[in-house]
Amino acid sequence: VEGSSYDSIKIPPSVSTITVLSPNGGETLQAGQSFTARWESRNLPSPAQISVALYQGGTQKRVLDCCVPGSSGLGGWTGVLPADLPAGQYLLRVEARGTNAFAIDYSDTLFTITAPTTSAQVTQQLGAALDAARVILERLRADISQ
């Protein structure tokens, strides 16, 4: 239209985001046991790849999976925490990569990974339970014989 001005409006590209849902801090997990990491993502290109890793003291300790297929929405990865993972406080990092997109997030606070239960610990626990059962049986026998 003659005599009027038009402003050009530029719409910025959508920003890709990913947010850790769990473990997100305060949980206790055990090395050698199964667990599920969950996240929510937005505006990821298809296809996208999600990397799931554990950090301790600002250092990457273990990549649990480098190539989880991802898309926008709720996502997750289920696997076994390595049995040789040292007990301690960790953060989970999820990272999404795709064509012209990158997003990363960490657990909000630390969560704990405990050492796996070893067969020696199980044997010790069973031995203690058997000792307790013997004491109970001896008391029952003594009560019956009176």
Q: How many Å apart are CA 69 and CA 86, to the nearest integer?
A: 28
Tell me how many domains the chain contains.
2
With respect to residue 7, please indicate whether it lies within any of the assigned structural domains: no
Q: Which residues, 6+ apart, have CB-to-CB distance to 33 below 8 Å? A: 80, 81, 116
With respect to residue 6, please indicate whether it lies within any of the assigned structural domains: no
Q: How many Å apart are CA 86 and CA 21, to the nearest integer?
A: 23
With respect to residue 5, please indicate whether it lies within any of the assigned structural domains: no
> What pLDDT, in 10s, does the model give residues 25-82?
999 999 999 999 999 999 988 889 999 999 999 999 999 999 999 989 999 999 999 9
pLDDT at 4 over 70: no
Range of the domain at 72: 17-115
Residues 101, 123, single domain; the answer is: no
With respect to residue 130, please indicate whether it lies within any of the assigned structural domains: yes
pLDDT band at 123 (very low <50, low <70, confident <90, very high): low
Residues 99, 139, single domain; the answer is: no
Beta carbons of 105 and 19 less than 8 angstroms apart: yes
- Report the CATH number that the domain containing residue 79 is assigned in CATH: 2.60.40.770
Residues 121, 85, single domain; the answer is: no
